[in-house]
Amino acid sequence: MITRVSMTFLATALLCIGASGAVAAVPGSGSASEAYSAAGLYNQANAAARAGQLGEAVLDYERAALLAPRDSDIRANLAQVRARAGLATPGNWLTQHARIADPNLMFWLASLGIVLTGASLLARRFGKTLRQPLAGVALVGLALTLAGVTDAIATAATLNEAVVMQASAARAAPIPAADSLFVVPQAEVVRRIEDHGDYTLVRDAQNREGWLPRSSVRSIIPPEASR
């Protein structure tokens, strides 16, 4: 019985770590010496907002919010810039409120949770003493891992999200001559579905799908993170 429970728990925890690790691996977007940090991205976003570059500002605020999800200034400025662009606040309740800490911290907490839970379950199986303390350690480990799972679920959608850098017509096919279906405004956050040549298929906040030039969108998670 303990073996079945342990295997199920381990599979869930590994999924959590995989999702958290993908976000934690976000690299720097500037020079090699430039720190990729919430503070640095926040300052870049503020400068872009002052210059009227709303797409760039939203992109940097979104990236900063991934690294510092509880920073109220980042969230407030992001909401202000989106309002300037005439956009509503995206995301559901989970993505807006379930973030606990930066991805690096959640990655290591989830890893620690796996170690604590696994070790305590094994010790309880092979040892007859200290069963209650070991049960407490297992509960602590489970709580840490569940926190990581929750945070990973809340951020998983970001892996395929991108910001529209300039207003672009979404077309019915990935060719310039295809019919225009609708216009995606600057600074809108869209979900990337697939790429084809110089175009990418996206889904907007209204669940409409169309092809945009790849040059007009930038992923919130930089492409280097998946390498």
* Domain assignments of the chain as residue spans, ordered by start: 1-159, 161-226
Which secondary structure element, helix H or strand E, spans residue 196, and what is its range?
A: strand 189-196
Separation between Cα atoms, residue 50 and residue 15, nearest integer Å: 40
pLDDT at 8 over 90: no
Q: Are 212 and 170 spatial neighbours (Cβ–Cβ below 8 Å)? A: yes
User: Does the pTM of the predicted model rise above 0.95?
Assistant: no
- Of the listed ranges 44-48, 114-118, 126-130, 156-160, the least confidently predicted one is 126-130
Strand order in the sheet with 199-203: 180-184, 168-171, 209-213, 199-203, 189-196, 161-164, 217-219
Q: Are 98 and 154 spatial neighbours (Cβ–Cβ below 8 Å)? A: yes
Provide the pLDDT confidence category of residue 96 given band limits of 50, 70 and 90.
Answer: low
pLDDT above 70 coverage of the chain, percent:
67
Q: How many CB atoms are located within 10 Å of the residue 146 CB?
A: 15
Which pLDDT does position 191 carry in this prediction?
93
Burial 9-38 (b: 16+ CB within 10 A, else e): beeebeebbebbbbbbbbeebeeeeeeeeb
Which pLDDT does position 127 carry in this prediction?
61
Section 1-26 average pLDDT: 46
pLDDT at 181 over 80: yes
Q: How many CB atoms are located within 10 Å of the residue 184 CB?
A: 22
Which secondary structure element, helix H or strand E, spans residue 116, and what is its range?
A: helix 103-126
Cα dist from 50 to 57, 110, 122, 141, 216, whole Å: 9, 39, 57, 45, 21
User: Is 219 in a helix, a strand, or coil?
Assistant: strand
Whether domain 161-226 has CATH 3.30.930.10: the reply is: no
- Of the listed ranges 25-34, 168-177, 213-222, the least confidently predicted one is 25-34
